[in-house]
Chains A and B, each alone.
Chain A
Amino acid sequence: MIAPLFVLLALLTVAASLVVVLHRNPVYSALGLVTTLFLLAVLFVGLDAHLVAALQIIVYAGAIVVLFLFVIMLLNLQVEPRTLAPAPLVVTGAVLGGALGVATLGVLGRDPLPLAAVVGPGYGGTEPLAERLFTAYIVPFELTSVLLLVAIIGAVVLGKKRLS
């Protein structure tokens, strides 16, 4: 039993992601990306992942894609005269990409997936996620902070007007 809502959301998501990939104007690509991310957040809510949904919007839509837009506007990119890569690459890429999708779908169809019909109260909230994050995943968590620090430094250095 698949709710029609899911079908609608899925179709919208695919459409938005196609905008990302195919639109000639980078700004529209970015907007397509935001839409995709927003719809994914809605799907996350459907999967009881409230916190991740909120973070998805705050981090992805609110920061990362804004950065994309910011850079696109800073470089003043317009509609591109030549959007696509050379034809052979496009054909190979499309064929291989499509094949990947089909193959993955085929693999998915083979094995029954786990399905916990009922999850405990509070699932997807802040507390259980934080509990995993600060116990089992504490080392990756700390390493992530290092990664972010390095990224900040790298971005600051690269963002300077002149690289010497």
Chain B
Amino acid sequence: MLTLAPPAWYLALSAVLFAIGAMGVLIRRNLIVMFMAIELMLNAVNLAFVALARGMGSMDGQVIVFFVMAVAAAEAAVGLAIMLQLYRSRATINADEVTTLRW
């Protein structure tokens, strides 16, 4: 039915969301917020997949979205567990205070 808009517009929205997510990763200090920005980027990509799937009349894009969700769930579980541990040992989740992993 495609009542709202042609896929290209969805893709444009997707690009904007992705850019916002990418900026979010860079400009924030808080690791959890950075993490959320990453989720935002993933979702922007999901939108592109769904829009292109609709445009091509194929289900494959939606299948990929399914996988992205599974990966995002796994990532969130492990990532948040890491942040809990980080907070327990360092009492901070600011990116610029966790820089021992170098050299």
Contact = CB atoms under 8 A, between A and B. Distances in A.
Interface of A: 2-3, 5-6, 9-10, 13-14, 17-18, 20-21, 26, 29-30, 33, 36-37, 40, 43-44, 46-49, 51-52, 55-56, 59-60, 63-65, 67-68, 71-72, 74-75, 77, 80, 82-86, 89-90, 92-94, 96-98, 100-102, 104-105, 108, 113-120, 123-124, 128-129, 131-133, 136-137, 140-141, 144, 147-148, 150-152, 154-155, 158-159, 161, 163
Given A51-B62, A132-B63, A155 B26 contact: no
Interface string B72-89: 111111101111110110
> For chain A, what secondary structure do more than half of its interface residues adopt (helix, strand, loop), or is it mixed?
helix
A97 B23 CA distance: 5
B20 A97 contact: yes
Contacts, number: 261
Given A17-B21, A36-B43, A94-B27, A108 B84 contact: no
Given A21-B23, A40-B46, A49-B50, A6 B9 contact: yes
A108 B7 contact: no
A46 B52 CA distance: 13
Interface residues of B, number: 76
Closest 4 pairs (CB-CB, A-B):
A93-B26, A101-B19, A116-B57, A97-B23
Contact of A158 (B1, B16, B82): B82
Contacts of A158: 78, 81-82, 84-85
A98 to B, nearest CB: 6
B29 to A, nearest CB: 5
A62 to B, nearest CB: 11
B27 A129 contact: no
A150 B3 CA distance: 41
A151 B24 contact: no
Contacts of A82: 29, 94
Given A52-B50, A101-B16, A140-B67, A21 B56 contact: no
B8 interface: yes
A129 B97 CA distance: 44
A116 to B, nearest CB: 3
A61 to B, nearest CB: 11
Nearest to A118: B57
B10 to A, nearest CB: 7
A100 B18 contact: yes
A137 B25 CA distance: 31
